[in-house]
């Protein structure tokens, strides 16, 4: 996707450039993720890349099939993209954790058909609890922001429905 001049550019690094353990962790923990699995035909397919400052980011244009109101991306899709960005920060820094709390602030309507920059970064915590932030920008304006707490997934087994 070509990024307009008004949007911040991503670093040239690619998710494939991340340490093999980080990519393996993501593919083992999220093989069919709606947000970031490249093999899911009806998902978003976001491919977050590690940035020089340690954050992760991806550029994405939401299609009309993801609208709630005409021309506006559904808030649940926006929340999922922000949550996915933070989860991918953890994976790309070799951590496995699950969302324990997610707070989203919808500042302006996210327009479909308009390129967006989705980025996430670590705020505090380590080991068992991670506090993260994420934001979605269009045309350089912050449209939505999220904060979340993640709890380390210390189970060596696969996460199953209703059980961790």
What residue ranges do the domains of the chain occupy? 15-152
Which of the four pLDDT bands, split at 50, 70 and 90, describes residue 163? very low
Q: What is the pLDDT of residue 68?
A: 93
Q: What is the pLDDT of residue 22?
A: 54
Q: Is residue 99 within 8 Å of residue 83, measured between CB atoms?
A: yes
Read off the pLDDT of each residue in 72-89 and give the average, rounded to a whole number.
Answer: 93
Question: Nearest CA to 148 among 106, 115, 108, 120?
Answer: 120
Question: Per-residue pLDDT for 61 more than 80?
Answer: yes
CATH number of this structure's domain 15-152, picked from the four choices 1.10.630.10, 3.40.50.300, 1.10.40.50, 3.10.129.10: 3.10.129.10
Model confidence, pTM = 0.78
Dihedral (CA of 143, 115, 12, 82) sign = positive
Read off the pLDDT of each residue in 83-108 and give the average, rounded to a whole number.
Answer: 91
Over residues 1-45, the pLDDT tens digits come to: 222 333 333 444 444 455 445 556 666 666 556 566 666 667 666
């Amino acid at each position: 996707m070509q990024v307009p001049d008004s949007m911040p550019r991503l670093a040239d690094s690619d998710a494939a450039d991340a340490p093999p353990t980080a990519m393996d962790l993501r593919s083992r923990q999220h093989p069919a993720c709606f947000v970031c699995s490249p093999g899911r035909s009806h998902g978003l397919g976001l491919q977050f890349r590690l940035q020089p400052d340690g954050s992760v980011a991806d550029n994405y244009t939401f299609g009309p099939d993801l609208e709630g109101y005409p021309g506006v991306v559904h808030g649940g899709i926006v929340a999922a993209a922000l949550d996915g960005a933070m989860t991918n920060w953890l994976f790309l820094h070799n951590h496995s954790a699950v969302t324990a709390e997610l707070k989203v602030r919808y500042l302006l309507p996210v327009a479909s058909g308009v390129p967006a920059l989705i980025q996430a970064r670590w705020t505090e915590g380590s080991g068992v609890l991670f506090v993260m932030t994420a934001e979605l920008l269009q045309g350089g304006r912050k449209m939505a922001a999220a904060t979340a707490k993640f709890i380390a997934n210390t189970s060596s087994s696969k996460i199953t429905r209703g059980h961790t």
